[in-house]
A and B are shown apart, each in its own frame.
Chain A
Amino acid sequence: MAEKKRYRGRIAQVWIYLGKQLRMFVFQNDWKMLPMAALIGGLVTFAVGTNMFIYQEGTMNGCFALTCVCVWNGFFNSIQVICRERPIIKREHRAGMHISSYIAAHMIYQMLLCALQTVIILGITMVAGIKFPAESVITGSSIVDFGLTMFLVTYTADMLSLAISAIVKNTTAAMTVMPFVLMFQLIFSGALIVLQGPSERLTDFTITKWGLQSLCAQGNLNTQPQVTLWNTIWEFRAFEWQGQKPVKLFTDQILKNKLLNDFLAESGKYTGKPEFALSAENVLHCWMMLAIMAVLFAVIATLSLELIDRDKR
């Protein structure tokens, strides 16, 4: 009886496709994602300024901007990678390729790409003079903690766009869907618009919410001074009541007694939120949510690509 031939299994095929991805990185201009990440990271750092991790407002804006950069990078890394070669995948699937191996190769390759992008953005923020808090709750180094959060946000966004790329049939459809998903991520992050009721529940399904929450917690937002209240009061200095200007009187007293910093610190305590509390439990919860989402998106990508044989000729 003839010996049954055995062909390369799933794990061996992962290495074949990973090699292909790495060659594509060099030849198919995927490397351009890295200078792009540097450019966008630089622009955002320039816009955020050095108020990050000093005042609550600066920290919130900066963390939101960093989250957006990570989501943007993740999306652009892989939104076209599958759909642009869909007919090739179909052909190779017919010839014995395992879809799970193909997706696993993408997952590993994208992990490397996201890690590089995170390092670049972190480097740029440090060069730009943003001082990260000294306190770390997970690894002992706040830079590493921030890096891990940014990596997870980038990678989860990457997996989401990988899933979209696996579901849609061509690059045009992918690029049409992407802005909607991006808008959903931004609007339902909870940072731009105060959400209530059913819409608030939707925030749990966004990458931006968990990324922002983790970064703000690591940035120790709750203990930082808040300037919005003081600025608002300052605007009302001309307010008169029964021939007097009580608001002006109040601000003058604060300044005269050099109590401004105390006032700002005190107002920050009242506006802090429990979800931004600096604790290992809080940060780990955010990381876990991001990791679950990443795995879920990878599973969706695999399952939807398994149906590739049904593609019409």
Chain B
Amino acid sequence: MDINDWIQLIYQAAALIMQTAGIWMILKKCGVKGWHALIPGDRYYRLGIVGGRETDGMIALYADIARIGAQWAFTNVEKTDEYYIVYLMVALIILMIALVYEIRVLLGVLRTFRMKWYWIIPWIFVPWLPAWLMGFNNRFQPVDLGVYDEDELLAGKAPAEIASADSSDSRSGLNIHVRSRSVRQHFSRRYLLKDVNVSIPRGSLVLLLGGSGAGKTTLINAVIGYEKADATITLDGKDVYKNYSEMKYRIGFVPQQDLLRLNDSVMNTLYDAAKLRLPKNVKAKEREEKVNDVIETLGLAGRQNGLVAKKSGGQKKRISIGMELISDPDLFILDEPDSGLDGVIARELFEKLRGIADRGKIVIAITHTPDRVADLFDQVIVLARDSGRCGRLAFSGTPQEAMEFFERDSMEKIVMAVNRTSEGGEGRADEFIARFAELKAERGKA
């Protein structure tokens, strides 16, 4: 080795040490343990978490490891090898993937540090420089993007635990006891929902309220058994999870979007739904009666022969509801059934849902414009996202009790009270979660 080789080697070693030390400090500034910077691949995954791009970080992790193999292939495989071109192609693809995902991760990190995008250029060519600057210079500080370390996430930051079951638990109706709903994100666990205990009697129309990310859809998916949680959900005393194959036919779920085949006729859409959802022994005549009954109930009479595509937004929504209603479910859940509908049509739709509930069914609806139909509901469940980014129960009771509890005169103002300040809300979720926990405890004692 000549002097130039030595200089190059020393520079490379120094650059690697500075880059690693810089990333160590960046991770430390963001509340992540610094030693992750020492592990190839893992450092990008941790930077991905810091930059709010965890999935990209995960791919960068694998790509970084694969890159080691690719670099080995570049240097060790003989050009005369029969498969040289294949190795070369695979190695190039890996290098490109690694580069793209590392750039994605680093752009996320720059955003966290409120730095301009063009800092990515030195990150690619002289990574030790920005890493060192961002890690060791106190001028560069991360913003709070809602990143918490694993211990905080596991514990939840909310001040109260509401582990006890609802005192009004009964065999009839719907009983929801969600202890937690979490997702494993690669190497960490994130809690989406904790301690939601609610009982809903038959014949109730229930409003599920909460800001975005409060866990409304997560709760619904847990209740219908589609995304199982650490929970006990019973419908008329029967465990939904243990009897899922039977219970799924007793639960109707209408998603937010109208998931319909537009080029099929209304009648055929409903008739096929009946064939799929009704038991095998239901006779064709009876099935037809059920379809006609649904058409009548939802006000689709006279419109059943045209294509779904030709129907208005309100009619499509009713067809979507009809597909679930056809099996006469005991529990009926609707995710924003009034989205895209004007006030009059929305009101009309909720009146029909009121009618379904009055037939002894349980109807739970999510809506972002609850005040125009608030009088129709028997019960309101308010979910809020606590400071640990976990959905929790902030209230459950009648709409009147809700307005008294939150000291607000409308449902929309209740949502604003628990929403985060970054969303234009008052950011009082933790306070109301704690107050409701105390209220429940008092009710329990009484």
For chain A residues 272-313, which have a beta carbon within 8 Å of chain B?
Answer: 309, 313
Q: Does A220 contact B (CB under 8 A)?
A: no
Q: Which of B253, B261, B263, B277 contacts A96 (CB 8 A)?
A: B277
Q: Is B144 an interface residue (CB 8 A)?
A: no
Which residues between 236 and 273 of chain B lie within 8 Å of chain A, taking CB atoms? Answer: 246, 248-249, 253, 255, 257, 259-261, 263-265, 268, 272-273
Known: A28-B263, A198-B82. A92 touches B276 (CB 8 A): yes
Number of A-B contacts (CB under 8 A): 71
Q: Does the CB pair A23–B257 fall under 8 Å?
A: no
Contact of A198 with B83 in the complex, beta carbons under 8 Å: yes
Is A229 among interface residues, defined by CB-CB distance under 8 A?
no
Q: B76 on the interface (CB 8 Å rule)? A: no
0/1 per residue, A92-112, Cβ < 8 Å to B?
Answer: 101111000000000000000
List the B residue with the shortest CB-CB distance to A91: B259
With the chains together, A97 CA to B323 CA distance in Å? 13
B292 contacts A by Cβ under 8 Å: no
Q: Is the CB of A20 within 8 A of B264?
A: yes
Contact of A16 among B261, B272, B279, B307 (CB under 8 A): B272
Chain A residues positioned under 8 Å from B268 (CB to CB): 19-20, 23
Closest to B275 in A: A16
Considering the complex, give the chain A residue whose CB is closest to the CB of B86: A198
Confirm or deny: A87 has a beta carbon within 8 angstroms of a beta carbon on chain B: yes
Please, how many angstroms separate the alpha-carbon atoms of A7 and B276 in the complex?
A: 7
A19: which B residues are within 8 A, CB to CB?
Answer: 268, 272
Cα A197 to Cα B259 in complex, Å, equals: 50
Residue of A nearest to B250 (CB): A5
Interface centre among A7, A23, A85 (most CB of B within 10 A): A7
Instruction: Name the A residues within 8 Å of B264 (CB-CB).
Output: 20, 23-24, 27
Decide if A6 touches B259 in the complex (CB within 8 Å): no
Please give, as numbers and ranges, the residues of chain B lying within 8 Å of A10 by CB-CB distance.
Answer: none
Q: A221 → chain B, closest Cβ, in Å?
A: 30
Q: Which residues of A contact B261 (CB under 8 A)?
A: 20, 24, 85, 88
Cβ of A192 < 8 Å from any Cβ of B?
no
Min CB–CB distance B113 → chain A (angstroms): 28
Q: Is B226 in contact with A96, judged by CB distance below 8 angstroms? A: no
| Choice from A87, A88, A197 contacting B82 with Cβ under 8 Å | A197
In this complex, how many residues of chain A approach chain B with their Cβ under 8 Å: the count is: 29
> Is B280 in the interface zone, CB < 8 Å from A?
yes
Residue A12 at the chain B interface, CB threshold 8 Å: yes
Q: How far is the CB of A101 from chain B (nearest CB, A)?
A: 10
In contact, A94 and B253 (Cβ under 8 angstroms): yes
Cβ–Cβ < 8 Å partners of A6 in chain B: 279-281
Q: Is there a chain A Cβ closer than 8 Å to B297's Cβ?
A: no
Contact of A309 with B276 at beta-carbon distance under 8 Å, contacts A4-B246, A87-B259, A95-B248 already known? no
**Does B217 count as interface, using CB distance less than 8 angstroms?**
yes
Please indicate the chain B residues that have their CB under 8 angstroms from the CB of A9 in the complex: 280
Residue A13 interfacial (CB < 8 Å):
yes
Is the Cβ of A7 less than 8 Å from the Cβ of B249?
yes
A residues less than 8 Å from B279 (CB atoms): 5-7
Closest chain-A Cβ to B433's Cβ sits at a distance in Å of 24
Known: A5-B246, A198-B83. A96 touches B260 (CB 8 A): no
Min Cβ gap B84→A in Å is: 10
Asked if A8 CB lies within 8 Å of chain B CBs, one says yes
Q: Which of A242-273 contact B (CB under 8 A)?
A: none
Measured CA separation A206–B324 after assembly (Å)? 44
In the complex, what distance in Å separates the CA atom of A61 from the CA atom of B82? Answer: 31
* CA of A20 to CA of B276, assembled, Å: 13
Contact across chains for A8 and B257 when beta carbons are under 8 A apart: no
**6 A-B pairs closest in CB distance:** A27-B263, A28-B263, A5-B279, A91-B259, A88-B259, A6-B280
**21 sampled A-B residue pairs with Cβ under 8 A:** A6-B279, A6-B280, A7-B280, A8-B280, A16-B275, A16-B276, A20-B264, A20-B268, A20-B272, A24-B264, A88-B260, A88-B261, A91-B259, A92-B276, A94-B248, A94-B253, A96-B248, A96-B249, A97-B276, A198-B83, A313-B217
**What 13 additional pairs, Cβ within 8 angstroms, besides A5-B249, A16-B275, A23-B264?**
A5-B279, A6-B280, A7-B278, A7-B279, A23-B268, A24-B264, A27-B264, A27-B307, A28-B263, A87-B257, A95-B277, A95-B323, A96-B249
